[in-house]
Chain A
């Protein structure tokens, strides 16, 4: 029975895929709690779409996808910062999402037979991760988590009491920038594995699930990281089982995201039941 959960990973490419999703799961979980605290879910969505043309151009020129994504992310953030002075920021985000994405589509479509390339860029190719990419992800993961841990106290203060943290003399712009840059790095690291449109699930879903389970921030981060890694592992097992033994052709990135979503829905349902069960007692209490 338990063999099911370990058998796929005797294959070299499955082991690399597992290492990649575990690193991404932990990183996404920790970053996700900050995204949740700062209500940056929409920004994450924006970044994941705006890095797409960078990846597409790097792909067309045979350059490093990571470098392409970074350049596009930086250009988007600069445009956003200047554009927000003249246009409603929400609308500007929608504009950046759609036009950057369109640029990526146009670049990819210059190649013949582009549909399968487009699909790979959009939904990732986690099973073809190589040693080098794994190393990139590990470096990004360690740098981001260390940054967040070192600045933990300041970042949490900034999230809960922006004015207080400013009054205490913390460089608030620098702190905001740290969070935004870490979100961008995480998106860039995860894009190759799960593709541009599903990255947001790695960051937001485990953190939202953890938020339903814990109240304190440090346990929330640990739970989110564990859920992210666990969801990645289970998702890989399910897609391997379905594809090899049942012929269902389950795309691995999408399966992982669905496992994470199922976890969230289970916890939300469990919590709703728990609240319902507890409520009658609470109603009695004042009497």
Chain B
């Protein structure tokens, strides 16, 4: 506990808290759309796909954000082109492309001196060293992503639940899909300084799944997911200060703990029969 009190007096730690809360809240909201559209595998894929882009950008000294996003788009294109080959299913093609591009990232990073430290910073983040510029990027990108998702909420939810209905009403399905995919990619790249590429998956899926255990309506799920994401950021950073463990890992683990606790609490609630938010007719059945 004394460690925690000491840490709270450091401006670096307070900035890290701010960043973790912002990233957690934005990723929580985006995560609801991820779960609604059954995109968790895409999130896992993008977490591997953005890594080489970030590594190359860092080697060349250009913006990590730019590198990660650009490479992510290249990977999406590669998956689409190779996936057109009917001999292979999508998951296999994605597996091949991801492992290959991940290995490329490892080679790029390992070719530089002092590579272990850089490599682990990309993979599991380094929230205690975020810069004010990182926080500003998070605020700007987060506000933009949340603004677009909020503005299009009705259309996005309709598209997720009733694809043919949405296209009958004249909405273009692929445009809605593309908007969600781009939002996911941007959020992931924004989360890299805080939790790294691999652990951003946790923030983009687990708070939304946790929300799904508590509530059935999309609007309520978004609020709960944002809360759980921000709470995980705070809990993770507290745990990191108290037990001196890696902050990125602790934040991701905190989302898992929130999920487990919710699972236990809602299971007992179901058993007493007061309310049955069963699988049928739910937000993300």
Interface residues of A (CB under 8 A from B): 35-36, 39, 41-42, 44-45, 86-88, 90-95, 97-99, 101-106, 108-110, 114-116, 118-119, 122-123, 197-198, 200-201, 204-205, 207-208, 211-212, 248-251, 253-255, 257-258, 260-261, 264-265, 268, 271-272
Other CB < 8 Å A-B pairs besides A94-B43, A95-B206, A198-B99, 11 of them?
A39-B91, A44-B95, A95-B40, A95-B259, A102-B249, A108-B246, A119-B115, A201-B99, A205-B95, A253-B106, A261-B103
B103 A254 Cβ-Cβ under 8 A: yes
Interface of chain B: mostly helix, strand, loop or mixed:
helix
Q: How far is the CB of B20 from chain A (nearest CB, A)?
A: 14
Task: Give the docked Cα–Cα distance between A265 and B103 (Å).
Answer: 15
A118 B124 Cβ-Cβ under 8 A: yes
Given contacts A211-B88, A261-B96, A261-B99, contact A106 B198 (CB under 8 A): no
Partner of A95, one of B38, B41, B205, B246: B205
Beta-carbon nearest neighbor of A250 in chain B: B107
B209 A208 Cβ-Cβ under 8 A: no
Task: Give the docked Cα–Cα distance between A91 and B124 (Å).
Answer: 21
B106 A123 Cβ-Cβ under 8 A: yes
* Interface residue? B2 (CB, 8 A): no
Interface residues of B (CB under 8 A from A): 35, 38, 40-41, 43-44, 48, 82, 85, 87-89, 91-96, 98-100, 102-104, 106-107, 110-111, 115-117, 119-120, 123-124, 198-199, 201-202, 205-206, 208-209, 212-213, 243-246, 248-253, 255-256, 259, 263, 279, 284-285
Given contacts A87-B212, A205-B96, contact A99 B88 (CB under 8 A): no
Given contacts A99-B252, A264-B96, contact A42 B91 (CB under 8 A): yes
Partner of A102, one of B48, B252, B284: B252
Contacts of A118 in B (CB 8 A): 116, 120, 123-124
Given contacts A45-B95, A205-B99, A258-B107, contact A102 B38 (CB under 8 A): no
Q: How far is the CB of B47 from chain A (nearest CB, A)?
A: 8
A249 B116 Cβ-Cβ under 8 A: no
A selection of 17 A-B contacts at a CB cut-off of 8 Å is A39-B89, A88-B285, A90-B41, A94-B44, A94-B205, A95-B205, A97-B44, A98-B201, A98-B202, A99-B206, A103-B249, A106-B245, A109-B245, A119-B119, A198-B99, A254-B104, A261-B96
Contacts of A88 in B (CB 8 A): 35, 38, 40, 284-285
Q: How far is the CB of B100 from chain A (nearest CB, A)?
A: 3
Contacts of A35 in B (CB 8 A): 92
Contacts of A102 in B (CB 8 A): 199, 202, 248-253, 256
A122 B123 Cβ-Cβ under 8 A: yes
Partner of B93, one of A104, A208, A248, A254: A208
A86 B279 Cβ-Cβ under 8 A: yes
A115 B116 Cβ-Cβ under 8 A: yes
Contacts of B250 in A (CB 8 A): 102, 106
